[in-house]
């Protein structure tokens, strides 16, 4: 058997007070560096504090050759027929595919601002119907109708037809049972944040899933940890903010990862939660030499992980070293894995 492939996306950098021109250049640079590193694509975020993910995707398509935008789609911002038209339009003009990361919520304040009062599980109910409508409209060769709890279509037609090879890959974000149900209903890949490998039990517990984490790899562990501590120094205020946010967090993954962060060893283990605990990221980080990071990566791949969303890789050296770790990880896997 061949060794498993892993699909790797980076993520759009935060705006962080950049001028429009400076941020545009930064996004293009990160996208091009992602492509040069040999990764599949780049995630475009969606919430009330980010730019429109479809516009970001178009900019990325215009300045890369093969990179696939992974567009975050939240039902509160766009009707599924509008999302289908965006996919179709980008495919028509650019002859390129976009993938979709279906998200049910986000920050509670942003949901309130958008007038969304649905509870956690009902938002996933809506997300499941949203994804089914999208798949129906994109794949049907004729006008389609739909009558559901959240959406109605009456002989909706999408023209011109989307080429089959441009059909998006579907992802859904979350760790709850409601999210797992949506994953099954849509045949999607579920994205969450990983625990330490020792926390998993059973055969291929991560099959059909993707994980989000950062990587800081260098030739030696000492170099990697020097970079890690420079980027994420001790921050007591950040830790207090994280504890406050965790007390009211609705997301299952956030509460679970917060418990892990509190219990994490202070030692410099390759699986590092301090950036999350100090409220700087939402992701764990893998830190160490190429070989150390590769060992952890190969462990996740052996458990069935198929997709990785890389956090915070904004500079060409980061992407270069991460790519080395991924190559070593795949080489470390047994042929029949």
How do residues 263-272 score in pLDDT, each as one tens digit? 665 567 899 9
* Residue-wise pLDDT tens digits, 102-161: 998 766 777 777 777 788 899 999 999 999 999 999 999 889 999 999 999 999 998 888
- Look at residue 15 and tell me if it is in a domain: no
* Residue-wise pLDDT tens digits, 73-92: 999 999 999 999 999 999 99
Please tell me which residue, 21 or 2, carries the higher pLDDT value: 21
Mark whether 118 and 164 lie in a shared domain: yes
- Cα 75–chain centre separation: 17
Quickly state the pLDDT bin for 250 (edges 50, 70, 90).
low
- The number of distinct structural domains making up the chain is 2
- Look at residue 8 and tell me if it is in a domain: no
Closest residue by Cα to residue 131 from 91, 166, 176, 179: 179
> Six-digit token pair at 261?
């962060």
Quickly state the pLDDT bin for 2 (edges 50, 70, 90).
very low
Mark whether 95 and 187 lie in a shared domain: yes
Burial class of residue 249 (count of CB atoms within 10 Å of its CB; 0-12, 13-18, 19+): middle
Q: Provide the total of helices (H) and of strands (E) in the chain, helices listed first.
A: 12, 12
Mark whether 183 and 220 lie in a shared domain: no
pLDDT at 246 over 70: no
- Look at residue 325 and tell me if it is in a domain: yes
Mark whether 171 and 47 lie in a shared domain: yes
Task: Report yes or no: 85 and 20 within 8 Å, Cβ to Cβ.
Answer: no
Q: Please state the rounded mean pLDDT for residues 267-278.
A: 86
Quickly state the pLDDT bin for 47 (edges 50, 70, 90).
confident
| Domain boundary, last residue among 192, 217, 235 | 192
DSSP string, 217-239: EESSHHHHHHHHHHHS---HHHH
What gap in Å lies between CA 120 and CA 9, rounded to an integer?
Answer: 27
What gap in Å lies between CA 284 and CA 274, rounded to an integer?
Answer: 8
Q: Residues near 278 by Cβ (< 8 Å), separated by ≥ 6? A: 232, 234, 235, 238, 239, 242
What CATH number has the domain bearing residue 101? 3.20.20.30
Task: Report yes or no: 100 and 71 within 8 Å, Cβ to Cβ.
Answer: yes
Mark whether 212 and 183 lie in a shared domain: no
What gap in Å lies between CA 237 and CA 224, rounded to an integer?
Answer: 25
Mark whether 172 and 272 lie in a shared domain: no
Q: Please state the rounded mean pLDDT for residues 17-38.
A: 94
Q: Is residue 318 helix, strand or coil?
A: helix
pLDDT at 315 over 80: no
pLDDT of residue 218: 97
Mark whether 168 and 48 lie in a shared domain: yes
Per the structure, the complete domain to which residue 72 belongs is given by: 40-192
| Domain boundary, last residue among 134, 162, 192 | 192
pLDDT of residue 141: 82
| Domain boundary, last residue among 149, 165, 192 | 192
pLDDT of residue 125: 96
pLDDT at 56 over 90: yes
Rounded to 5 degrees, what are φ and ψ at 155? 55, 45
What gap in Å lies between CA 54 and CA 71, rounded to an integer?
Answer: 7
Mark whether 165 and 290 lie in a shared domain: no
- Look at residue 147 and tell me if it is in a domain: yes
Mark whether 212 and 309 lie in a shared domain: yes
Mark whether 131 and 173 lie in a shared domain: yes
* Residue-wise pLDDT tens digits, 57-66: 999 999 999 9
Mark whether 100 and 173 lie in a shared domain: yes
Percent of the chain with pLDDT over 90: 65
Quickly state the pLDDT bin for 1 (edges 50, 70, 90).
very low
- Look at residue 235 and tell me if it is in a domain: yes
- Look at residue 215 and tell me if it is in a domain: yes
- Look at residue 221 and tell me if it is in a domain: yes
- Look at residue 76 and tell me if it is in a domain: yes
Average pLDDT of the chain to the nearest whole number: 89
Mark whether 102 and 229 lie in a shared domain: no
pLDDT at 242 over 80: no
pLDDT of residue 175: 86
């Amino acid at each position: 058997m061949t060794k498993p492939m892993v699909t790797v996306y980076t993520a759009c950098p935060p705006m962080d007070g950049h001028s429009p021109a400076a941020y545009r250049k930064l996004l293009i640079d990160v996208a091009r560096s992602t492509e040069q590193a040999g990764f599949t694509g780049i995630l475009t975020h969606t919430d009330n504090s980010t730019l429109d993910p479809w516009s970001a995707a178009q900019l990325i398509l215009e300045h890369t050759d093969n990179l696939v935008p992974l567009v975050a789609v939240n039902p509160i911002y766009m009707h599924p027929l509008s999302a289908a038209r965006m996919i179709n339009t980008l495919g028509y003009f650019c002859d390129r595919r976009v993938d979709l990361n279906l998200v049910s919520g986000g920050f509670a304040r942003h949901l309130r601002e958008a007038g969304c009062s649905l509870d956690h599980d009902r938002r996933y109910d809506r997300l499941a119907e949203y994804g089914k409508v999208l798949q129906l409209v994109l794949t049907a060769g004729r006008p389609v109708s739909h009558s559901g709890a959240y959406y109605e279509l009456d002989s909706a037609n999408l023209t011109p037809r989307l080429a089959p090879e441009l059909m998006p890959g579907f992802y859904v974000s979350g760790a709850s049972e409601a999210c797992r149900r949506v994953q099954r209903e849509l045949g999607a890949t579920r994205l969450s944040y990983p625990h330490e490998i020792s926390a998993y039990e059973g055969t291929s517990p991560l099959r059909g899933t993707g994980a989000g984490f950062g990587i800081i790899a260098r030739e030696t562990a000492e170099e990697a940890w020097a970079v890690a501590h420079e980027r994420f120094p001790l921050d007591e205020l950040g830790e207090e903010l994280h504890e406050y946010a965790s007390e009211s967090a609705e997301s299952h993954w956030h509460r679970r990862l917060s418990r892990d962060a509190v219990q994490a060893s202070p030692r410099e283990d390759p699986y590092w939660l301090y950036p999350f605990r100090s409220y700087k990221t939402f992701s764990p980080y893998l830190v160490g030499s190429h070989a150390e990071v590769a060992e952890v990566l190969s462990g996740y791949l052996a458990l069935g992980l198929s997709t990785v969303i890389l956090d915070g890789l904004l500079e060409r050296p980061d992407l270069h070293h991460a790519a080395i770790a991924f190559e070593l990880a795949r080489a470390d896997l047994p042929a029949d894995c």
